[in-house]
């Protein structure tokens, strides 16, 4: 186990700058999730820890030592790939045992370690099978077993659940968290799925356009985002962002007064979670544009003034509007979040 530190890391592919001034410390034994949209640089950051890419600028330290110029095979890290990257010609046992071949252990020791890793992931009965004879979930477990078998200092996981169906993904999510807690190995997990990030990580580092946006616990990111990108990316649905005007301490959306917040008159962006909006007989006018029925709750999409769309979360047993119906909504929280209309950064009182 080891701490992983990025110090002012930058990465450029040709003229394309994919990572800029990236500073991040992953604590020893921590489960950190790198979260961001496709192309934000999160996989590049992970690959640089593995040694599959070298930083253009800055340095990466594992266990307090710079790994600049250290080949992947000498970094003592294990990686789980999106496609699982199993060796198709080797049995499950040989796939799991492959990383042990480069270690000094005897054949008996290696077999014991393979059995232990396989048992831990419920693969005991499948050791003689080839990857083509396994389901997606089983292949994913083999990839995990191969990662844990030599007790590396760091686990690197690159969207390992993206090829699984929704049910299996939910199940495996929990299993990976339990496994990491049991082993206590420092883990960096890359995903673009904010549900995965929220449910798995001790902390989440949100990235966009090669920049680290914010790092914090799932609750901190949800409740206290530093800009509109984090606010809209974290949470499902993301935070509603409404262009508004503050006039004489009252926040107006269009011509409708919503909440009272003291401050100078200005254009701002008001951020409100969907559970803090409610359909009402009066309030901000809008038209119901879509309904998402999720079983226990319904997401009502409303086209609000100025071409903005908000999502209102309501319980399934509450009367729901019809598509195209004209309606109104109110802000139920007394403390919505505010962002600068130009910089989109959070405005704090």
Partner 1 sequence: MTRRSVRIRQSVGAYALIAPALTLISVFIIYPFLRNFKLALYAIPPFPGLPSKWLGIHQFTTTVTSDVFLNSLQATLLYTAMVVPLGVFAGLVLAVTAHQKLRGMAIYRVIFSTTAVSSVAVAATIFGTLLNPVNGLLPWFGINVNPPFLQNTTWALPAMAIIGIWEFMGLSFLLFSAGLQSLPEEVMEAALVDGASPVRRFFRVTIPMLSPTIFYALAVGTIAAMYTFGQMDVLIGTGSTTYTNTDTLAYLIYQSVTVQPNAGVAACISIALFGITSLITFLQFRFLERRVHYVGE
- What is the binding site for partner 1 (CB under 8 A)? 50-52, 71-75, 77-79, 81-83, 85-90, 98-99, 101-103, 132, 146, 150, 156
| b/e code 299-328 from CB counts within 10 Å (16+ = b) | bbbbebeeebebbbbbeeeeebbeeeeebb
We find the least distance from the C-beta atom of residue 78 to partner 1, in angstroms, to be 7
Per-residue H/E/C for the chain:
CCCEEEEEEEEEECCEEEEEEEEEEECCCCEEEEECCCCCCHHHHHHHHHCCCCCCEEEEEECCEECCCCCHHHCCEEEECCCCCCCCCCCHHHHHHHHHHHCCCCHHHHHHHHHHHHHHCCCHHHCCCCHHHCCHHHHHHHHHHHHHCCCCCEEEEECCCCCCCHHHHHHHHHHHHHHHHHHCCEEEEEECCHHHHHHHCCEEEEEECCEEEEEECHHHHHHCCCEHHHHHHCCCCCCEEEEEEEECCEEEECCEEEEECCCCCEEEEEEECHHHEEEECCCEEEEEEEEEECCCEEEEEEEEHHHEEEEEEEECCCCCCCCCCEEEEEECCCCCEEEECCCCEEECC
Closest approach, Cβ 191 to partner 1, in A, equals 17
- Between 94 and 299, name the residue whose CB sits nearer to partner 1: 94
Shortest CB 79 distance to partner 1, Å: 5
Which residue lies nearer to partner 1 by CB, 102 or 317? Answer: 102
Shortest spacing between CB 321 and partner 1, in angstroms = 47
Cβ proximity to partner 1: between 71 and 219 the closer is 71
Which residue, 143 or 212, has its beta carbon nearer to partner 1? 143
Judged by beta carbon, residue 50 or residue 251, the one nearer partner 1 is 50
**Of 80 and 231, which has the nearer Cβ to partner 1?**
80
Closest approach, Cβ 72 to partner 1, in A, equals: 5
Closer CB to partner 1, 88 or 324, in the complex: 88
- Closest distance to partner 1 from the beta carbon of 26 (Å): 17
Closer to partner 1 by Cβ: residue 83 or 171: 83
Nearest distance in Å: CB 96, partner 1: 10
- From the CB of 257, what's the least distance to partner 1, in Å? 56
**Alpha carbon of residue 36 to chain centroid:** 6
């Amino acid at each position: 186990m080891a701490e992983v530190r990025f110090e002012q890391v930058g990465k450029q592919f040709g003229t394309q700058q994919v990572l800029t001034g990236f500073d991040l410390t992953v604590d020893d034994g921590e489960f950190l999730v790198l979260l961001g949209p496709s192309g934000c640089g999160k996989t590049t950051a992970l690959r640089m820890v593995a040694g599959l890419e070298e930083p253009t600028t800055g340095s990466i330290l594992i266990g307090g030592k710079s790994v600049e110029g250290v080949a992947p095979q000498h970094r003592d890290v294990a990686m789980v790939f999106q496609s699982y990257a199993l060796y198709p010609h080797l049995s499950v046992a040989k796939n799991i045992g492959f990383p042990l071949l480069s270690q000094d252990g005897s054949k008996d020791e290696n077999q014991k370690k393979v059995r232990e890793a396989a048992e831990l992931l419920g693969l005991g009965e499948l050791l003689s099978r080839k990857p083509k004879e396994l389901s997606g979930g089983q292949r994913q477990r083999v990839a995990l077993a191969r990662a844990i078998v030599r007790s590396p200092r760091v686990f690197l996981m690159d969207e390992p659940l993206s090829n699984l169906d929704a049910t299996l993904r939910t199940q495996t999510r929990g299993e990976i968290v339990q496994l990491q807690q049991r082993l206590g190995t420092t883990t960096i997990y890359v995903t673009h799925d904010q549900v995965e990030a929220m449910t798995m990580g001790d902390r989440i580092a949100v990235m966009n356009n090669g920049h680290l946006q914010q790092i914090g616990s799932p609750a901190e990111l949800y409740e206290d985002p530093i800009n509109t990108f984090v606010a809209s990316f974290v949470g499902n649905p993301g935070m509603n962002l409404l262009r508004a005007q503050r006039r004489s301490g009252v926040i107006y959306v269009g011509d409708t007064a919503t909440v009272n917040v003291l401050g100078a008159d200005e254009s701002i962006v008001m951020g409100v979670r969907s559970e803090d909006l409610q359909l009402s007989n009066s309030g901000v006018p809008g038209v119901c544009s879509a309904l998402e029925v999720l079983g226990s709750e319904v997401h009502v999409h409303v086209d609000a003034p100025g071409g903005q769309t908000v999502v209102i979360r309501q319980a399934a047993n509450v009367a729901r509007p019809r598509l195209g119906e004209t309606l109104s909504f109110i802000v139920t929280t007394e403390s919505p979040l505010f962002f600068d209309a130009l910089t989109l950064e959070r405005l704090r009182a």
